[in-house]
């Protein structure tokens, strides 16, 4: 979602064995760096649905959300509120292929290699050690929809 100066994005960290799915974008400040598939939340979708969609669009890999890895929030040039919900995701299938025009490379890389690669983004190097430490996560749980706010989809991630 990009509403003026308030942005909301979703990011998926797909793990397969001891490897993480990473991309090199063809644009933005992350151009040429290894980062995780990510993008803006679209109207009518939840943040976890956006993460699943972005992973599939950017890499061709199918994955499901396991749990929230964290929230990255910052202000760009003192005026743009840039927020992203980041999810740990489980690999379902497919081999990485870069999205034409947006992604230069998409591949699974060993986590330990990414931690020491000078082309790995800062956020990647901050969040991947958490994966090494974590045991098992809990997937998002669906609940009865609260009639007061008229949600059409409602989930809690722990």
Domain locations along the chain: 2-152
pLDDT(61) > 50:
yes
- Please state, in angstroms and rounded to a whole number, the distance separating the CA atoms of residues 69 and 100: 28
The three-class DSSP label of residue 84 is strand
The three-class DSSP label of residue 120 is strand
Q: Which of 84, 94, 2, 100 is nearest to 36 (CA)?
A: 84
What band does 77 get if pLDDT is binned at 50, 70 and 90? confident
Instruction: Please report, for the chain, how many H helices and E strands are present, in that order.
Output: 3, 10
- Please state, in angstroms and rounded to a whole number, the distance separating the CA atoms of residues 31 and 110: 21
Q: State the catalytic residue, choosing from 45, 62, 102, 105.
A: 105
pLDDT digits (tens, 9 = 90+) for 133-149: 774 344 444 555 556 55
User: pTM to 2 decimals?
Assistant: 0.84
- Residues above pLDDT 70, as percent of the chain: 84
* Residues sharing a CB contact under 8 Å with residue 72, sequence separation 6 or more, in sequence order: 11, 83, 84, 86, 123
What is the model's pLDDT at position 151?
A: 62
**20, 109 in Cβ contact below 8 A?**
yes
What is the model's pLDDT at position 147?
A: 62
What is the model's pLDDT at position 139?
A: 41
Which CATH class, in words, describes the domain spanning 2-152? alpha beta
Q: Please, is 10 exposed, middle or buried when counting C-beta atoms within 10 Å of its C-beta (0-12, 13-18, 19+)?
A: buried
Question: What is the residue-averaged pLDDT of the chain?
Answer: 88
- Residues above pLDDT 90, as percent of the chain: 69
What is the model's pLDDT at position 144?
A: 58
Q: Confirm whether 43 is a catalytic residue.
A: no
Q: How far is CA 72 from the centre of its chain?
A: 11
Place of tokens 């996560």: 137
What is the model's pLDDT at position 141?
A: 47
Comparing 33-37, 105-109, 120-124, 152-156, which segment has the lowest mean pLDDT? 152-156
pLDDT digits (tens, 9 = 90+) for 87-135: 999 999 999 999 999 999 999 999 999 999 999 999 999 999 888 777 4
């Amino acid at each position: 979602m990009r509403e003026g100066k308030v942005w909301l994005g979703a990011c998926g960290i797909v793990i397969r064995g001891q490897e993480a799915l990473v991309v090199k974008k063809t644009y933005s400040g992350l151009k040429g760096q290894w980062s995780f598939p990510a993008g803006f939340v679209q109207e009518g979708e939840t943040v976890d649905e956006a993460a699943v969609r972005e992973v599939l669009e950017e890499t061709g890999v199918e994955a499901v959300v396991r749990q929230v890895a964290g929230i990255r929030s910052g202000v760009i040039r003192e005026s743009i509120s840039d927020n992203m919900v980041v999810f740990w995701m489980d690999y379902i299938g497919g081999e990485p292929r870069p999205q034409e025009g947006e992604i230069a490379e998409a591949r699974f890389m060993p986590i330990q290699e990414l931690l020491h690669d000078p082309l790995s983004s800062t956020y990647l190097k901050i969040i991947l050690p958490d994966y090494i430490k974590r045991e098992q996560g809990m997937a998002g749980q669906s609940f009865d929809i609260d009639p007061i706010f008229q949600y059409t989809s409602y989930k809690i991630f722990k």
